[in-house]
Amino acid sequence: MSLLKNDLFLRACKKLPVERTPVWIMRQAGRYLPEYRKIREKADFITMCKTPELAAAVTIQPVDIIGVDAAIIFSDILVIPEAMGMKFDMLESRGPVFHHPLRNSDDVKSLKKIEPETDLKYVLDAVALTKRELDGRVPLIGFAGSPWTLFTYMVEGKGSKNFSEVKKLIFNNPFMAHQVLDLLSDAVADYLSAKIEAGANAIQIFDTWGGILSQNNFEEFSLRYISKVISKVKRKEEPVIVFSKGVHFKLEEIASAGADVIGLDWTMDLGDIRKKIGGRVALQGNLDPTVLYANEDKIRNEVKKILQSYGEGSGHVFNLGHGILPDVDPENAKSLVNIVKEESKKYHLANAAG
Ligand code: CP3
């Protein structure tokens, strides 16, 4: 940590004093950047993920272009199911589509137990290369999908509106669901441990589909396995961020599961949540991603409201409440980062002198 030139993000994750609030953007390496699209013209998405030089290049783009305080390794949550034997295509405008979704016990039998050091070596190589190329400028975040979110994709086979297939499965064959979730928890924990070993300074678990479950089912099918992952990940001081989208109701439980930082979507009130759990965890978020369609004055106003809602002191990592949208003007992303840097100083004045 001490080798980093800018460790604001890691300090905020640990609620240590900072001079200003650090900022990064979920899905910051992506299609809204012309520089990303230029590389993407020459290679398909999966090839980009599997080529460490390309993955490192696009990982570093938002650090150079947008000025964020952390990099997140360019990859996808679906590399785990892919390594388990489930092939998918990334279709333009439709997103990922699995060739054979997981629907019955025979499908489960064909899932392969993964060894990250061999099966996902390309990601670990990308992490190591990115670290070298970043040369300590900012920390590097590693990530994985939560077991539940991966399971949802594997069963639905593609994006979904009602999540009927995965719901049918948990209600009609909970034994199979738990069997696969258990397998995924081991895979995710081993994978995140390997990423830390390769140089990741922090890890984020994306529980994008946690919010489609009722409160009881969230505990049974998502939280239990996030807990398992966190307790199994081998780490020293690397913070764990959990982003469960749409999960207002279990934030205390997520904190109890061992998260150091909880990511909030934009429907939640940062100040209220700080009052409830800010003593135990740091908070990340939570600007509505569509605010980046607005002009600079509006962006500034919305940023100020979020900073004010969190209030004074460390423990806040500024981010969007979900990923940046592909048709956002990169100039607006730059403005956002600059505005956070300027406007957040006054909330940390007590530290400036010392
Ligand atoms: O944050 C970053 O910059 C790192 C890269 C990253 C990607 N995917 C690259 C990507 C991260 C952290 C992810 C996570 C991911 N992938 C999630 C969880 C986060 C979330 O947004 O909820 C999910 C659900 C996926 C699965 C996935 N991958 C979908 C649904 C899609 C299609 C929709 C979309 O946003 O494009 C992808 C494709 C994808 N993953 C792209 C990128 C840059 C676009 C691919 C392209 O270039 O065509």
- Residue 134 is predicted with a pLDDT of 98
Percent residues over pLDDT 70 in the chain: 98
Ligand 1 binding pocket includes 265 (Cβ within 6 Å): no
Q: State pLDDT tens for residues 212-268.
A: 999 999 999 999 999 999 999 999 999 999 999 999 999 999 999 999 999 999 999
Query: From atom 30 of ligand 1, which residue's Cα is the shortest distance away?
Result: 95
> CATH number of the domain that 148 lies in?
3.20.20.210
Closest CA to ligand 1's atom 21: 323
Q: Which of 23, 24, 26, 27 to mutate to test the pocket of ligand 1 (most atoms within 8 A of CB)?
A: 27
User: Does residue 117 fall inside a structural domain?
Assistant: yes
Q: What is the pTM of this model?
A: 0.96
What is the separation of C-alpha 97 from the centre of its chain, rounded to a whole number of angstroms?
A: 21
pLDDT digits (tens, 9 = 90+) for 124-174: 999 999 999 999 999 999 999 999 999 999 999 998 889 999 999 999 999
Output the CA 96–ligand 1 centroid distance in Å. Answer: 9
Q: Is residue 224 part of a domain?
A: yes
Instruction: Examine residue 128 and state whether it is found in any structural domain, yes or no.
Output: yes
In a domain, 1, yes or no: no
Given this model, what pLDDT does residue 1 score? Answer: 46
Q: Is residue 189 part of a domain?
A: yes
pLDDT in tens, 14-67: 999 999 999 999 999 999 999 999 999 999 999 999 999 999 999 999 999 999
Q: Is residue 153 part of a domain?
A: yes
Please identify which of the residues 36, 153, 310, 347 carries the catalytic annotation. Answer: 153
Q: Residue 354 has what pLDDT?
A: 45
Q: Is the pLDDT of residue 277 over 90?
A: yes
Full residue range of the structural domain in which residue 186 is found = 8-353
Average pLDDT over the chain reads 96
Domain tally, the chain: 1
Residue 347 annotated as catalytic? no
The reply to whether 76 belongs to the active site is: yes
Residue 3 placed within a domain? no
Residue of the CA atom closest to atom 10 of ligand 1? 76
245 domain residue, yes or no: yes
Greater confidence, 44 or 349?
44
